[in-house]
C-alpha cells in the first residue's frame, strides 16, 4: 500500500469539505459561491487524488455521487416505522371536519395550530443516518416494505451524504420527497428525444423511473431533487417539540426544506393558505397536487395517534383533479415557423386542473401511433400546472364501432407540400418553406415579437389577415406597409394603423442580438443570439463563420452549429437580410458594445407573481440574456425581485431582507433602457 503523506491527507480532506460546502450552497441554499468551471476543477482534483490513493475514499466523498456498478436487483427494506399514506380532503367542509375530529380527540377547546406545506408530486423516500452518515435509503413501497435505493439516492446533490453537524444524532430517519422541477423535467425530455428515446409523461414518472434505475450512473445524470418533510426515528434527547422546529433542525443538518411551508394559527389560516397556493401553483417551479396539513405540536401528534393506514394528525387537502375523461372530436395538424407539423386534439370541453379544456397536444406522429387514436375515442386528458394539456391514454373499452383511425398526413394541410421525416428527428416537417403560408405567418409573428423586433400592435390575428389578403408574404414586406393598406383591414382604425406604422419604423433601429433572434434561425433563442453577437462584430462575419468557429463558442454544439450554417448558406437568407438593411433595419456598432457592457453577470434575480405583458419564460430569457442567473427562491444573495400581480411569500421575504424590488412596469422600463 502506498504511504500517504500527512500533507496529502490534509489537502484531500479540505477538498472533500470544500466540495460538500459548495454542493450545499448550490443545491440546497440556491446560493452558489463559485462558478461551475471552478467546481468541476475541484472535482477533478478530488478524483485524481482518489485514483492515486483509493484508501482515502470515504462514504461521504462527493465522488460517491457519480454512481457505481449496476445492481442485479433492488433489495427489500422493512420500515421500522411504517410509511403511512394520508387521508384526503377534497373540499373545505372535509378540511373543517378534520379540524373538528382533532379537537374532539384532544378534548381541547383551544385552537390547534398547523403546519401547511405544498404536497410535492414526487416519490416518498426514507433516509437513515447513523453517526451522521447516510447508511440506507428506501422507497415507500407498500408502507411496510420498500426498495433499497441507497446507491441512487447518493447521486442526488440536494441531500447530504454526511450530516452537517459536529454532534449528529446516533440515529435519525429523515423522510421526504424525491422530485423533478419542471425545468429539469423539460430538459431531460429534450435529452431523451435527441437520443431517439421515448419522452417521460410527467415529472413524477420521470423521478420514479430515475430512482429505480439499476445503474446508479444513469440516475446521476437525471435532475433529481430532495425535499425533507419529517423525522421519524430520533435517538437523542432534546429534540424540537414542534413540526416547525423539527424542520428547522433538519435544515441545519443540511437538507432542503420547502420555502413555501407556512405556519397556520388555526384551520381558517390553513384554508387561506390552500386558496393562496392554488392560485399560485402554476408559478411554482415544481408540480403539486395539494397541500399537506399537519398538527404542529409533536406531543399532540402522539396523542392523536394513527389509524391502520394514515395518521390522525395530518390530512392532504387535494386540489381539483388534473385528469379527466373527454371525447376526441377531431385532430388538427398545425404548421409552425420551422415547418414542424404538430397534431392537436379537439376535444369535447371538459373541466380539468381548474380550467375548461377543449384542445390538447398530441406531440408528433409517434405519439399518435402510441395512442392508437380513433376519431370519437374516449380519452384521458391531463393538465398539470401550467403544462399544455395532453392526451394521456385511450379508454379502449369505450371505443365506438366502425370508428376511423387517425393517420398522420403525408402532405401539408396548408400548402400540400410533402411532409418529410428526417431520420435523426422525431418531428415531421412541411417541405413548403416560404411557399407555405402557415410558415410565413409564424415567421412574421416571431419577427415582430417582444424579444425580437418588438413591433407593438402587430398581433397574431392581424398577421393572419395581412398574409391571407396578400398584403405581406415575408418579413421584408412589413416595411412596405402603408396607411391605406392597413386601414382597409377590418377593425383597424386610422389611429391604430398609424401607431403600428410608427412601431414598424421604430423597429428599424435594433441590436445585432435582437436581429439574429428575430430571423428565426432554428434552435437559436435569446441566449444563443447573445453568444453570437458577443463573438462576432457583424452579420457578415456570422454568415461567413466556419463550423470550428461556431463550435469554439461555449454553449453552441454540433447540431446548433449546423442549423446556423444551413440557414446562412441559403441564398434566400442573404437576399432577405440585404433587403431588410436596404429598407433601413440597422444596428449601430455602439449597440453591440452596449449589449456587451450592460451585463447582469453574477447577479441573482427572482421572478414571482403573474405578469400581464409577457410570460415568466420570456422574462427569464431576457434576464439570462443579460447574464443574470434566475432563481426560484429568495435568499440574502438575491440581487433583485421582479414582483407581478399576486406576489406573496417571496415578496414578503424580499422586503424583510431589504432586497430591491421591481414591479412589472419598472421591469419593462428597465428592459427598454437596456
At 617-674, the pLDDT tens digits run 778 878 877 778 888 788 878 888 998 877 877 888 888 787 888 888 788 777 766 6
Confidence of residue 176 (pLDDT cuts 50, 70, 90): very high
When pLDDT is averaged across residues 507-515 and rounded to a whole number, the result is 91
Q: Does residue 205 surpass a pLDDT of 90?
A: no
What pLDDT was estimated at residue 237?
Answer: 60
When pLDDT is averaged across residues 273-282 and rounded to a whole number, the result is 85
Q: Does residue 525 surpass a pLDDT of 70?
A: yes
User: 423: Cβ–Cβ under 8 A, 6 or more apart, which residues?
Assistant: none
> With contact defined as beta carbons under 8 Å apart, do 268 and 274 qualify?
no
- Rounded Cα–Cα distance for residues 215 and 217 (Å): 5
User: Yes or no: is domain 599-673 CATH 3.10.50.40?
Assistant: no
- Rounded Cα–Cα distance for residues 42 and 21 (Å): 12
**Residue 385 or 459, more confident:** 459
The class (CATH top level) of 512-596 is: mainly alpha
Confidence of residue 281 (pLDDT cuts 50, 70, 90): confident
- Rounded Cα–Cα distance for residues 127 and 163 (Å): 12
Instruction: Indicate the DSSP class of residue 476.
Output: G
Q: Which long-range contacts (CB under 8 A, 24 or more apart) does 409-415 make?
A: 409/333, 409/341, 412/335, 412/341, 412/436, 412/438, 413/332, 413/333, 413/335, 413/341, 414/335, 414/438
Q: 145-147 and 133-139: which strand pairing?
A: unpaired
Residue 321's CB is within 10 A of a number of other CB atoms, namely: 14
Question: Which residue from 211, 181, 177 is spatially nearest to 287, judged by alpha carbons?
Answer: 181
What pLDDT was estimated at residue 634?
Answer: 85
For 323-407, CATH gives 2.40.50.140
Q: Does residue 71 surpass a pLDDT of 60?
A: no
436-506 shares the fold of 323-407: no
What pLDDT was estimated at residue 592?
Answer: 40
**Residue 35 or 590, more confident:** 35
Instruction: Indicate the DSSP class of residue 478.
Output: G
When pLDDT is averaged across residues 147-160 and rounded to a whole number, the result is 88
What pLDDT was estimated at residue 321?
Answer: 59
- Residue 626, φ and ψ in degrees, nearest 5: -90, 5
Q: Does residue 386 surpass a pLDDT of 50?
A: no
At CA 501, angle to CA 495 and CA 504, rounded to 5? 145
- Rounded Cα–Cα distance for residues 63 and 621 (Å): 33
- Rounded Cα–Cα distance for residues 276 and 267 (Å): 14
Sheet with strand 640-643: strands edge to edge:
629-631, 604-608, 640-643, 661-663
Confidence of residue 594 (pLDDT cuts 50, 70, 90): very low
- Rounded Cα–Cα distance for residues 604 and 600 (Å): 8
Per domain, the residue ranges of the chain are 6-65, 88-318, 323-407, 436-506, 512-596, 599-673
Q: Does residue 181 surpass a pLDDT of 70?
A: yes
> With contact defined as beta carbons under 8 Å apart, do 498 and 504 qualify?
no
When pLDDT is averaged across residues 236-261 and rounded to a whole number, the result is 87
What pLDDT was estimated at residue 622?
Answer: 80
Concatenated DSSP letters of 167-189? S--SEEEEEEEEE-BHHHHHHHH
Q: Does residue 162 surpass a pLDDT of 50?
A: yes
The string of pLDDT tens digits covering residues 284-293 is 888 888 899 9
What pLDDT was estimated at residue 25?
Answer: 65
Q: How far is CA 279 from CA 197, 272, 321, 645, in A?
A: 35, 11, 15, 11
**Among 9-13, 178-182, 442-446, 448-452, which stretch is predicted with the lowest mean pLDDT?**
9-13
Question: Which residue from 6, 17, 4, 24 is spatially nearest to 45, judged by alpha carbons?
Answer: 17
Share of the chain above pLDDT 90, in %: 27
CATH number of this structure's domain 436-506, picked from the four choices 1.10.260.40, 1.10.150.20, 3.40.50.300, 2.60.120.10? 1.10.150.20
Concatenated DSSP letters of 260-316? T-EEESSHHHHHHHHHHHHHHGGGSSB-EEEEEEEESBHHHHHHH-B-SSSBTTEEE
Instruction: Indicate the DSSP class of residue 63.
Output: G
Cα radius of gyration rounded to whole Å, the chain: 28
Q: Does residue 385 surpass a pLDDT of 60?
A: no
**Among 240-244, 564-568, 646-650, which stretch is predicted with the lowest mean pLDDT?**
646-650
The class (CATH top level) of 6-65 is: mainly alpha
* Highest mean pLDDT out of 7-16, 197-206, 250-259: 250-259
**Among 184-193, 340-349, 442-451, 605-614, which stretch is predicted with the lowest mean pLDDT?**
605-614
Residue 582's CB is within 10 A of a number of other CB atoms, namely: 10
Q: How far is CA 365 from CA 146, 189, 523, 591, in A?
A: 38, 17, 21, 44
Exposure b/e, 460-490, CB count within 10 A at least 16 = b: eebbebbbeeebbebbbbbbebeeebbeebe
Exposure b/e, 153-191, CB count within 10 A at least 16 = b: bbbbbbbbbbbbeeebbeebbbbbbbbbbbbbbeebbee
At CA 323, angle to CA 319 and CA 328, rounded to 5? 150
Q: How far is CA 610 from CA 283, 607, 644, 646, in A?
A: 8, 9, 5, 6
When pLDDT is averaged across residues 345-371 and rounded to a whole number, the result is 85
Q: How many residues does the chain have?
A: 674
- Rounded Cα–Cα distance for residues 673 and 667 (Å): 10
| Residues belonging to the active site | 119
The span from the first CA to the last CA of the chain, in angstroms, equals 61
Q: How many CA atoms lie within 13 A of 533 on its CB side?
A: 28
Q: 419-421 and 428-430: which strand pairing?
A: antiparallel
* Highest mean pLDDT out of 153-157, 382-386, 596-600: 153-157
Concatenated DSSP letters of 523-580? T--HHHHHHHHHH-SSHHHHHH--HHHHHTSTT--HHHHHHHHHHHHSHHHHHHHHHH
What pLDDT was estimated at residue 405?
Answer: 92
> With contact defined as beta carbons under 8 Å apart, do 265 and 112 qualify?
no
Quote the distance between the C-alpha of residue 458 and its chain's center.
Answer: 30
- Rounded Cα–Cα distance for residues 639 and 605 (Å): 6
DSSP reduced 3-state for 154: coil
Share of the chain above pLDDT 70, in %: 90
What pLDDT was estimated at residue 591?
Answer: 42
When pLDDT is averaged across residues 81-102 and rounded to a whole number, the result is 87
Q: Does residue 323 surpass a pLDDT of 60?
A: yes
Confidence of residue 225 (pLDDT cuts 50, 70, 90): very high
The 3-state secondary structure of 189-242, one letter per residue: HHHHHHCCCCCCCCHHHHHHHHHCCCCHHHHHCCCCEEEEEEEEEECCCCCCCE
Q: Does residue 66 surpass a pLDDT of 60?
A: no
For 88-318, CATH gives 3.30.470.30
> With contact defined as beta carbons under 8 Å apart, do 385 and 407 qualify?
no
What pLDDT was estimated at residue 586?
Answer: 92
Q: Which helix (H) or strand (E) holds 77?
A: strand 76-78
Confidence of residue 40 (pLDDT cuts 50, 70, 90): low
Amino acid at each position: 500500500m502506498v504511504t500517504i503523506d500527512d500533507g496529502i491527507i490534509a489537502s484531500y480532506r479540505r477538498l472533500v469539505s470544500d466540495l460538500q460546502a459548495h454542493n450545499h450552497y448550490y443545491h440546497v441554499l440556491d446560493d452558489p459561491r463559485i462558478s461551475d468551471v471552478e467546481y468541476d476543477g475541484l472535482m477533478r482534483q478530488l478524483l485524481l487524488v482518489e485514483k492515486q490513493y483509493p484508501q482515502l475514499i470515504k462514504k461521504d466523498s462527493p465522488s460517491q455521487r457519480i454512481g457505481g456498478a449496476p445492481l442485479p436487483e433492488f433489495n427489500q427494506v422493512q420500515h421500522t416505522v411504517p410509511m403511512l399514506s394520508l387521508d384526503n380532503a377534497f373540499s373545505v367542509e372535509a378540511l373543517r371536519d378534520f379540524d373538528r375530529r382533532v379537537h374532539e380527540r384532544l378534548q381541547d377547546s383551544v385552537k390547534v395550530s398547523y403546519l401547511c406545506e405544498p404536497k410535492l408530486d414526487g416519490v416518498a423516500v426514507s433516509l437513515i443516518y447513523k453517526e451522521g452518515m447516510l447508511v440506507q435509503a428506501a422507497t415507500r413501497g407498500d408502507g411496510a416494505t420498500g426498495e433499497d435505493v441507497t446507491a441512487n439516492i447518493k447521486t442526488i446533490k440536494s441531500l447530504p451524504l454526511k450530516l452537517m453537524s459536529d454532534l449528529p444524532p446516533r440515529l435519525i430517519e429523515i423522510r421526504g420527497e424525491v422530485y423533478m422541477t419542471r425545468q429539469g423535467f423539460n430538459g431531460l425530455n429534450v435529452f431523451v428525444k435527441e437520443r431517439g428515446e421515448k419522452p417521460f409523461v410527467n415529472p413524477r414518472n420521470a423521478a420514479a423511473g430515475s430512482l429505480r434505475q439499476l445503474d446508479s450512473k444513469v440516475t446521476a445524470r437525471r435532475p433529481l431533487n430532495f425535499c425533507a418533510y419529517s423525522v421519524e426515528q430520533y435517538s437523542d434527547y432534546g429534540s424540537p417539540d414542534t413540526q416547525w422546529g423539527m424542520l428547522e433542525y433538519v435544515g441545519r443538518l443540511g437538507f432542503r426544506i420547502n420555502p413555501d411551508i407556512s405556519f397556520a394559527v388555526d384551520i381558517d389560516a390553513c384554508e387561506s393558505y390552500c386558496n393562496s397556493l392554488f392560485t399560485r401553483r402554476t408559478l411554482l417551479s415544481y408540480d403539486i397536487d395539494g397541500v399537506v396539513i399537519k398538527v404542529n405540536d409533536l406531543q399532540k401528534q402522539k396523542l392523536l395517534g394513527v389509524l391502520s393506514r394514515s395518521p390522525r394528525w395530518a390530512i392532504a387537502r387535494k386540489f381539483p383533479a388534473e385528469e379527466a375523461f373527454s371525447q376526441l372530436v377531431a385532430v388538427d395538424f398545425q404548421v409552425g415557423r420551422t415547418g414542424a407539423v404538430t397534431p392537436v386534439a379537439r376535444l369535447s370541453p371538459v373541466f380539468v386542473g381548474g380550467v375548461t379544456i377543449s384542445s390538447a397536444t398530441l406531440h408528433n406522429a409517434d405519439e399518435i401511433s402510441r395512442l392508437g387514436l380513433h376519431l370519437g375515442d374516449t380519452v384521458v386528458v391531463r393538465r398539470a400546472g401550467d403544462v399544455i394539456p395532453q392526451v394521456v391514454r385511450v379508454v379502449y373499452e369505450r371505443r365506438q364501432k366502425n370508428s376511423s383511425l387517425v393517420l398522420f398526413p403525408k402532405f401539408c394541410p396548408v400548402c400540400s407540400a410533402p411532409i418529410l421525416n428526417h431520420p435523426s428527428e422525431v418531428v415531421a416537417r412541411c417541405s413548403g418553406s416560404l411557399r407555405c403560408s402557415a410558415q410565413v405567418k409564424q415567421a412574421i409573428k416571431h419577427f415582430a415579437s417582444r424579444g425580437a423586433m418588438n413591433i407593438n400592435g402587430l398581433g397574431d390575428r392581424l398577421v393572419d389577415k395581412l398574409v391571407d389578403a396578400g398584403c405581406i408574404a415575408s418579413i421584408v414586406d412589413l416595411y412596405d406597409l402603408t396607411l391605406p393598406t392597413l386601414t382597409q383591414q377590418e377593425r383597424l382604425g386610422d389611429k391604430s394603423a398609424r401607431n403600428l406604422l410608427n412601431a414598424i419604423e421604430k423597429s428599424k433601429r435594433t441590436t445585432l442580438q435582437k436581429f439574429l433572434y428575430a430571423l428565426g434561425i432554428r434552435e437559436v433563442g435569446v441566449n444563443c443570439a447573445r453568444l453570437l453577437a458577443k463573438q462576432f462584430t457583424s452579420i457578415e462575419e456570422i454568415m461567413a463563420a466556419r463550423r470550428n468557429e461556431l463550435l469554439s463558442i461555449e454553449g453552441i454544439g454540433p447540431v446548433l452549429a449546423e442549423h446556423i450554417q444551413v440557414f446562412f448558406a441559403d441564398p434566400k437568407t442573404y437576399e432577405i437580410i440585404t433587403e431588410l438593411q436596404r429598407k433601413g433595419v440597422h444596428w449601430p456598432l455602439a449597440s453591440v458594445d452596449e449589449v456587451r457592457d450592460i451585463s447582469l453577470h453574477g447577479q441573482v434575480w427572482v421572478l414571482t407573481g403573474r405578469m400581464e405583458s409577457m410570460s415568466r419564460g420570456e422574462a427569464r430569457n431576457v434576464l439570462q440574456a443579460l447574464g443574470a442567473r434566475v432563481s426560484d427562491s429568495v435568499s440574502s444573495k438575491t440581487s433583485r425581485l421582479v414582483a407581478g400581480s399576486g406576489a406573496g411569500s417571496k415578496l414578503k421575504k424580499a422586503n424583510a431582507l431589504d432586497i430591491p424590488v421591481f414591479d412589472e412596469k419598472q421591469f419593462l422600463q428597465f428592459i427598454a433602457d437596456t
